[in-house]
Structure 1
Amino acid sequence: MTTNSLFPTYNRADISFEKGEGVWLVGSDGRRYLDMGSGIAVTGVGHAHPHLVAVLQEAATKVWHTSNLYRIPEQERLADRLTAATFAERVFFCNSGAEANEAAIKTARRYQYVSGHPERTRIITFTGAFHGRTLGALAATGVAKYMEGFGEPAPGFDKLPLGDIDAVKAAVGPETAAIMVEPVQGEGGIQMVDRGFLQALRQICDDNGLVLIFDEIQTGVGRFGTLFAYEALGVTPDVLTSAKGLGGGFPIGACLATAAVGDAMTPGTHGTTFGGTPLACAVANGVLDVILADGFLDEVKRKGAFLMQSLSSVVDSHPEVFEGVRGEGLMIGVKCRVAAADVATAARDAGLLVIPAGDNVVRFLPGLVATQEDLREAAQRLEAAGVAVEKAKKDTAVV
């Protein structure tokens, strides 16, 4: 590992990339890698998409930043497009998923305050969730290893077992403001949340005047074959957070809400210096140009079914290495019997980039522009990784 001046907060692989095209990256060693991670579900329209490059180049010749003290036409256009395509009527722009979740937490609590319930500040969250690395988002996540060494967690969160609707009903009290859930847990290992559970959460919120928040940082912007996963799952939240794929690689986050909830955030209640800059919003509008084009999302569903089938075949061929496949659209997890990190390393050696996650899973989060041939090649390279892991296990056993 090369020593440099960066904080040692990452265990980085000893590789860097010089250029990319579609779902392919070229390393500094000149080798081509098939990118099935997309920078953790970020480069959803692929690397160096011609339309995004053109949009960014044009925007770079104009105004980069004015702050939100003034109107920003590209921001207004992006908000209008997001609300036209979703349940939402209001949007707040920020710079990341963690910031979007912070905005959602504040919005839910503020809504209860202006509705005459200032005592309602607690938010129900679930085991296996990941909502970000800020202190507030960490408290919502509630994972001890992430909070170690950072003092007492921020108060106001009740963490419950995912899927236990009786525990949710029992936890709802006079101080409960909202329920916050990922419709699919990404960092938790592509854990699909039961639709019946989500529907029950919606009903509990309706019955008790609570705000239902969907964290769609990883599931959103086309990955399910719908603009956001809630559409595919048939359950509509009051607040939804987005980031990652929204900017196609350019930092931007968003908190979407109904007017009833979002209008609680009056001037001075929240803000950001860089959120929703003309440059960021121009790129995000470029992403929507691609994602919302006729037939694009239908193709994502088709590609997702093909990838699921292809990976299932690999899993069946290597039962000592792999256990199963789960997910939907182009958000797929391969459950491993050996360490997921070892599978990811073997895959990288085979020129395939995948991302480990919780529950001993490697994630496939390819750019939505991947071709069927790209996806077939990804399965073949996972096959090679499986063979390499099997060989390493046998060699170790012999020694």
Structure 2
Amino acid sequence: MGLNRKVAVIGLGYVGMPLAVAFAKHFEVIGFDIDAEKIEKYKNNIDPTGEIGSEKLKETTLNFTSSEEEIKDADFYIVTVPTPINQDNTPDLKPVEGATKLVAKYVNKGDYIIYESTVYPGVTEDICVPLIEEISGLNSPHDFKVGYSPERINPGDKKNTVENIIKIVSGIDDEALNVISQIYGKVIKAGVHKASSIKVAESAKVVENSQRDINIAFMNELSQVFNLMGINTFEVIEAMNTKWNALGFYPGLVGGHCIGVDPYYFIYQAENLGYYSQIISAGRKINNQMTQFVSQNIVKELMKNNKASNCNIVVAGLTFKEDTPDFRNSKVLDVIKELNDYGIKPNIVDPFAKSFKGEIDGVITSEFKSDKPIDVLIYAVNHKAFKDIEDETFINSLNQDSAIIVDLKNRFKQYASDKRKYWSL
């Protein structure tokens, strides 16, 4: 059969959707998701992820379906379901196990199953392969091949798209690696990197995000210390970044479904082997504490400036990062919930407000405007929609006598004054 493959992408979220559209330019592709409502939106050229957009949906040859039987004719399966964590921060493998059982019902001799979901080293070969073998009655690598190619999607990034990022590929044997690298190489313009084993590829993914988590944690720890010293952290970083080998990380709220989750997969497997990860665990602890650090300092500023809980407090941004309608594990949401515990009910503005389905004690709208002067502006997410608004528009909306700016993105430092109280990370 060679490279003439019929591809099925299992899971059409922020990872699977861009990948499926990219593959559909070169192969016949079935895009499967268990969420029938989401599938109907895609069929009607509505993209709830915001990663592809209506125009590209109109152009794609991708076949959308929520009917599992339609994947039976595929021979190259790519699993892109989420891998979250449980409340105790242990890996929740139910989605990837569910997708594996689904594929196992239809896999035939000569088929390939590739995993892109973030897992700890060993999941593909030690958990997924036995499941497929048990359900299908086939054996790997003789009857079917498996591989792992970690996703590197950066939600909201229109420059570093799936086709423009080097793809790590791996296979259960040399034959599998050769076929998988050729098929992905046909789609990924930036090229592929052949990992020596599936476990190496699995490890690369969790290490990528753990590295970012640790570096941000370092900056967050500095931010907390500099706060006690009365020093602006961003000014320190600006000075430090004049050196050629500075890494360019900044303090901030670490949420989402990757950086705030993936390190726990590494920690979990390390502990299973009898090793307690000190640095990665410390990074997670520091970053998780940042919501409390931010919310407590907001309350302190309110108290210092005699602001009541019923004053006009506006939070700009609610998603876990800029320019994506993704509210999963948003730490801004956690900050607001902690403010709610103090009886503070802010007005929230986010251009993706219509996509928010959670519960929050406050009013959320999609457009920045204020009917009355803003007493406290919490600038939390640097959406393009906010960048397009002139600084003066924000500043002129403030209570000019006693406004407080809580600037988590270092945008309004130049407007700090005696009358306008200013606090940043």
Q: Please indicate the TM-score interval, normalised by the length of the shorter structure.
A: 0.3 to 0.5
Bigger fraction of residues in strand: 1
**Structure of greater Rg:** 2
State TM-score, norm by structure 2: 0.34
